[in-house]
């Protein structure tokens, strides 16, 4: 393997891991879809198993024999010995990397990974029957948690509007426990996300739309009529304001989760898990 000792986190080779923004990582190559960072062995292993291509790694010295070993084996299995021998594996003591913002709580293993070409929303919707739709959900923790619930509870995929956070941001992928690499997803273009176009796109592809919203005509999420539809899209709104009112009105159904003790809403990630469970029965 191409092990390269690092004694200074300010070395240029560390820009990818310590200093480049998510947008800079996306434009890392002049051509193609750029790269993203995967953190922790579990997330990295799921990315490799899903066919993503490793570019480079940063490993704390103390983690080489424990967390990194299965990752090396996975690279060899899915990418070949040549890739394992050629990609740079930067090795640094823990004290060198502890000042990397946002990394101090993560086990000392990171991988720069080449992105795959994205798919259009139209292409994504083919052959799907139960999907989650995130409308301008911008909190990476919530997006990651929704992905994890969607994967665990058997949804066919996740569609995000253009303004929603990129699922491959490192925090989102980490919170999702790597399920962003397992469940199909797509991010709609700006044009597809505006006005009624998203709902039109869903209906054209045969989906009944379900708005998670507290309105006067909302029904209980435990709803056999909704379950009986061949194709269902569950729409989840952004933190704080929820779904736009005109979108709520335009959906085929509006559903709510019964509440107690005067509580009027749940975190969107929690609400998503309940709705996936009920509507997938």
Per-position pLDDT tens, the chain of length 281: 899 999 988 889 999 998 899 999 998 876 677 999 999 999 999 999 999 999 999 999 989 988 899 999 999 999 999 999 999 999 998 888 776 644 454 668 999 999 999 899 999 999 999 999 999 999 999 999 999 999 999 999 999 999 999 999 999 999 999 999 999 999 999 999 987 899 999 999 999 999 988 887 888 889 999 999 999 999 999 877 889 999 999 999 999 888 888 887 788 999 999 999 998 77
List, by residue range, all CATH 3.40.1280.10 domains of the chain: 121-279
What's the pTM?
A: 0.92
CATH of domain 2-114: 3.30.1330.30
SS3 221: coil
Helices and strands per DSSP (H, E), number in the chain: 14, 12
SS3 call for 201: helix
Look up residue 221 and give its two tokens: 């999420």
Residues of the chain with CATH 3.30.1330.30: 2-114
Domain 121-279 coded CATH 3.40.50.300: no
């Amino acid at each position: 393997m191409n092990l390269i000792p690092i004694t200074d986190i300010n070395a240029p080779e560390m820009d990818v891991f310590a200093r480049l923004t998510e947008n800079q990582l996306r434009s890392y190559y002049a051509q193609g879809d750029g790269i993203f960072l995967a953190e922790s062995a579990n997330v990295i292993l799921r990315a490799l198993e899903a066919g993503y291509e490793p570019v480079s790694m940063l490993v704390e010295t103390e983690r080489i024999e424990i967390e990194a070993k299965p990752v090396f084996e996975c690279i060899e299995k899915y990418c070949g010995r040549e890739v394992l021998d050629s990609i740079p594996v930067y090795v640094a003591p823990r004290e060198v990397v502890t000042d990397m913002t946002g990394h101090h709580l993560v086990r000392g293993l990171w991988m720069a990974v080449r992105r795959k070409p994205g798919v259009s929303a139209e292409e994504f919707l083919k052959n799907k029957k139960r999907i989650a739709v995130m409308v301008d959900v911008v909190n990476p923790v919530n997006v990651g948690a929704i992905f994890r619930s969607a994967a665990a509870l058997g949804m066919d995929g996740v569609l995000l509007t253009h303004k929603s956070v990129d699922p491959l941001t490192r925090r989102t992928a980490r919170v999702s426990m790597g399920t962003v690499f397992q469940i199909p997803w797509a991010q709609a273009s700006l044009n597809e996300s505006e006005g009624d176009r998203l709902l039109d796109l869903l209906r054209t592809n045969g989906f009944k739309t379900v708005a998670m919203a507290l309105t006067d005509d909302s029904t209980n999420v435990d709803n056999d009529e909704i379950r009986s539809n061949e194709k269902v899209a569950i729409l989840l709104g952004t933190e704080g304001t929820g779904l736009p009112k005109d979108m709520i009105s335009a959906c085929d159904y509006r559903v709510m989760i019964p509440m107690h003790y005067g509580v009027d809403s749940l975190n969107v990630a929690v609400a998503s898990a309940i709705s996936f469970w009920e509507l997938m029965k």
